[in-house]
Amino acid sequence: MHNKIEVAVFGGGCFWCTEAIFAELKGVIKVTPGYAGGRTDKPTYQQVCGGNTGHVEVARIEYDPELISYNDLLEVFFYTHDPTTPNRQGNDHGEQYHSTIFYTDDAQKELAEKFIDKLNTSKEFGAPIVTTLRPLTQFYEAEDYHQGYYENNAAQPYCRAIIAPKLDKLRAKFKDTVK
């Protein structure tokens, strides 16, 4: 039984990848791919891919803060995508792939700002962090066929070539944090 469930929302490229990564973590209860931050009400995948909605592909992560902290989630988020290139993750490009943290309260905003400052100061990525921080005002759940995409399509070429290596990297670095 979970005493308190909190929500984190991250846009780190394709939401299939982001969902698969965060679904692996102890303390994460549910991950839902969707869209946030744009101008279009109830956007579709096709609209978001068109690049004119302002929406970012995101993962809405429900987690138990007694089992995993927001800071732990931030560490995984930054480690599993490129936060230095605007509107691009690998071969995926467009505003919907911009590295974005949608904070749900001032505490999340402050933790994210401190984390980004630490990364920029350490020059860990060799380039400035371009991740934007925005308040979460609305989240739209992605269409059903996007839910559990990696779990349901692990043999697909995109999943094998892009998502599986990210999961291997996650499991190697965060051994104690994965399920």
For residues 26 and 179, give the distance between their C-alpha atoms in angstroms, rounded to a whole number.
5
Catalytic residue among 14, 17, 49, 159: 14
Is 159 catalytic? The answer is no
**Helix locations, 57-105, DSSP H:** 70-79
Contact 62, 29 (CB under 8 A): yes
The helix/strand/coil state of 105 is coil
Q: Which tokens sit at 142?
A: 């992605």
Extract the runs of DSSP E, i.e. beta strands, from the chain. 6-11, 28-36, 56-63, 88-89, 92-93, 100-103, 132-135, 139-141
Supply the residues annotated as catalytic: 14
